[in-house]
């Protein structure tokens, strides 16, 4: 009897944990996109007004941000500083491969960021400023969609995890 109760409790806790983990990704994604937007805004200032090299500008833009986004940008800056022959896109791809598991980003953010990296440093300062404004606008649109998705799915996944764990426990008992 006690073994069944303990097993049922463990199944309920596991189901709840799975539901909350799925809900976490939906709630974390808009926050991380917002961090990326603020870092890219700071990067724009460092590149256009302070005229800093790209690796240093990335490092400073992510300076005070203690999140996976800050770690990702610092990793990108370190990749660019350590190997001068890397293009910004290659540095971003390597950083995504290394830090990507911690990021709650989905395909649209990753593609926008890689496209941004492909065009970064390839044109003059004014063209980069225009392109960066376009990327920021696209990220704001993606953030809006992520907020809408979060509002729809967070409660659902939490309840689904709890109810799924309860249903499994009832079936096993």
The predicted-structure confidence for 73-93, as pLDDT tens digits, reads as follows 888 888 888 877 778 888 888
pLDDT confidence band for 145 (50 / 70 / 90): very high
Averaged pLDDT for residues 145-164: 91
- Tell me how far apart the alpha carbons of residues 10 and 165 are, in angstroms, rounded to a whole number: 9
Closest CA relative to residue 17, chosen from 169, 149, 165, 152: 165
Domain-wise residue ranges, the chain? 31-156
- Tell me how far apart the alpha carbons of residues 52 and 32 are, in angstroms, rounded to a whole number: 25
pLDDT confidence band for 62 (50 / 70 / 90): confident
Chain mean pLDDT for the chain = 86
Q: HSE (CB half, 13 Å, CA atoms) of 119?
A: 17
pLDDT confidence band for 130 (50 / 70 / 90): confident
What pLDDT, on the 0 to 100 scale, is given for residue 126?
78
Contact predicate 8/172, CB 8 Å: yes
pLDDT confidence band for 141 (50 / 70 / 90): very high
Percent of the chain whose predicted confidence (pLDDT) is above 70: 100
What pLDDT, on the 0 to 100 scale, is given for residue 54?
79
What pTM value is reported for the model?
A: 0.82
The predicted-structure confidence for 6-61, as pLDDT tens digits, reads as follows 888 999 999 999 999 989 888 999 999 999 898 888 888 887 777 777 778 888 88
């Amino acid at each position: 009897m006690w073994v069944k109760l303990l097993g049922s409790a463990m199944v309920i806790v596991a189901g709840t944990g799975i539901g909350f983990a799925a809900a976490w990704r939906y709630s974390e994604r808009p926050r991380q996109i917002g961090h990326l937007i603020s870092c890219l805004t700071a990067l724009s200032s460092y590149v256009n007004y302070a005229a800093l090299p790209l690796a240093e500008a990335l490092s400073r833009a992510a300076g005070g941000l203690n999140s996976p986004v800050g770690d990702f940008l610092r990793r990108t800056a370190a990749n660019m500083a350590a190997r001068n022959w890397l293009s910004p896109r290659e540095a971003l791809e390597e950083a995504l491969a290394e830090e990507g598991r911690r990021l709650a980003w989905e395909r649209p953010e990753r593609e926008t960021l890689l496209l941004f990296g492909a065009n970064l440093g390839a044109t003059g300062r004014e063209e980069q400023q225009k392109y960066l404004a376009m990327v920021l606008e696209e990220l704001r649109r993606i953030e809006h969609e992520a907020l809408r998705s979060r509002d729809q799915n967070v409660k659902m996944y939490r309840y689904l995890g709890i109810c799924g764990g309860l249903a499994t426990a009832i079936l096993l008992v």
